[in-house]
Amino acid sequence: MRIGDLVSRSWDIAFKYKSLWLLGLLAEGAWFGTWIRNRDSGFKFGDSDLLFSGMAVALVFAILILMLVLLVLHFISVAGLIDSVNRITRGGKYELRLAFASGIRVFWRYVGLWLLAVMAGIALVVALAIPVALGFVIHAAFGIIAVVLLLPVLLIGIFITYNVYALTQRSIVVRDCSIGDALSEAYWLFRRNLGPNLAVFLVYMVLAIAITLAAVILILLVAAPFVAMALSSTGGKIMALLLGVPLVLVLLLIIEGISGVFLNCLYTLFYFGLVEPDGLVAPQPQDTPPA
């Protein structure tokens, strides 16, 4: 299995099947919601004049509802993308209706898997934080040494958790099995293929960072003329709002959609390569993708 081939096929599917961009956008929506949650809302809960404000409570409630909706759409869309890529690579046809139906079918299993992953992540962080805290209590030097020694353990834990989680997601959709059976298969595939798993994880992270940086640069380049226009005059501000904001927003949505399909497809094709090492993932995308 060559990682370069997986990247190339993933890009082919992401570029040719534009109707999948909607699923890619929704699959990435949970991370956008996390970004919203982490932004400074402009007030502190310690501010007495806003703490009991109905507007502040409504805002927090709206953000929580948005986060929940985005998370639900994320689970459904990730499963739908996996199902669509599964159909495409086997020469079949996909429909968004079938993709969403597949996502809804496995939704609760994805919720359960996500909760397991969250608990595993919390357990890992707590297990590593205890010796670090004890080290700093004894002496700052011991704390620093503990951080240096345990940081690789944290990175390894992230690698294991993420790859097993991603492979389990694909097993649930492709085999339509329980969380336990999917986890067993995913762990077996991970343990038997440590080298390829590490390679695809590193490539995935590098690509995700590269896409993010490229997107930021592109958006800044597109937005720069409108910013200059807005600073020039009142009329320029109006034109920047009417033209610049929609253009940047559309560009951002397109990038999110393509990158969501591309990165999701990379792990899906990787899963196929592990369970079917004879090359059943070799079929190229259909020449005439559906509209």
CB atoms within 10 A of CB 260: 26
CB-based burial label for 265 (10 Å; 0-12, 13-18, 19+): buried
Amino acid at 196: P
Question: What's the average pLDDT block by block, 10 residues per block, for the chain (291 residues)?
Answer: 87 90 82 46 48 70 89 93 91 82 94 96 94 90 90 95 96 94 95 94 95 91 83 75 83 90 94 78 40 36
Asked whether 8 and 52 are in contact (CB, 8 A), the reply is no
pLDDT of residue 278: 63
Residue 129 and residue 150: Cα distance in Å, rounded?
9
Q: pTM (2 decimals)?
A: 0.83
Amino acid at 119: M
pLDDT of residue 287: 39
Residue 113 and residue 201: Cα distance in Å, rounded?
19
Buried/exposed 6-17: b ≥16 CB within 10 Å, e otherwise: bbebbbebbeeb
Residue among 201, 268, 276 nearest 6 (CA): 268
Residues listed for the chain: 291
pLDDT of residue 236: 72
Residue 169 and residue 211: Cα distance in Å, rounded?
23
Helix%, strand%, coil% for the chain, nearest 5: 85, 0, 15
Crossing angle for the helix pair 54-89 and 107-138, nearest 10 degrees?
120
pLDDT of residue 55: 75
Mapped onto helix, strand or coil, the DSSP state of residue 235 is helix
Percent of the chain with pLDDT over 90: 52
pLDDT of residue 286: 40
Token pair recorded at residue 193: 């293929």
